[in-house]
Amino acid sequence: MARVMFGVVAAVAVVAGGYALMGPSATGSLPANPFVGAATAQEAAEVDTSTITEMVMGAEDAPVTLIEYASYTCPHCANFHAGPYKQLKADYIDTGKVKFIYREVYFDRYGLWASMIARCAGPEKFFGISDLIYKGQSDWSRAGGASEIVDELRKIGRLAGIENEQLEACLQDGAKAQTLVSWYQENAEKDGIESTPSFILNGKAISNQAYDSFKALIDAELEG
């Protein structure tokens, strides 16, 4: 499991009133990069995170709420989404028993860029794009340097039906990038997240585990 690094994740650089760009690529500038310098906890707390949409799947009034904290660059998270997640979705989320909330963790700029692509078309397409990102993780995350990686992420966005202009607007939204990082830090500190994937089941922290173990824990909550 990957460790959470709060000091790195909170890093922010502001140049001429906006985010520092990391240089040009074949398809334009690289996305806004908040992973330079260091922001204090007070600075992070001053960011209004209420504008960030919570990504939710399942019935709003489901008796059980499961929150996943995950990073798009985390192999363990990709494995979870390729296996246990699909079973949980079929058995509990789609049947109205579990409300599933997905919250991104940002270890690096690549995970942040993937998040900005996943969120680019709104909640309606978020989980579908997330599936594509996790499915192709071993390809896009090893594509080469920053330019090659972001170009592969753009391809995933286009595959999901997002137009180039919209993709670039999402990737270059420095204010959104800063807010997402602060939102992540706020949530992770509140829930004591130290690794990915991590889960909060009806307010109680649980670790990543096999589907049968998830099932037993969820069934206990449903019976209680």
Residue 162 CB coordination number (10 Å): 18
Write out pLDDT tens, residues 130-160: 999 999 999 999 999 999 999 999 999 999 9
> In this structure, what DSSP letter does residue 31 have?
P
Q: Read off the pTM.
A: 0.84
Q: In angstroms, what CA-CA distances link 133 with 83, 155, 209?
A: 15, 10, 22
User: How far is 98 from 93, CA to CA, in rounded Å?
Assistant: 5
Map out the domains of the chain with their CATH numbers: 2-223 (3.40.30.10)
Write out pLDDT tens, residues 92-141: 999 999 999 999 999 889 999 999 999 999 999 999 999 999 999 999 99
Phi–psi pair at 161, nearest 5 degrees: 95, 15
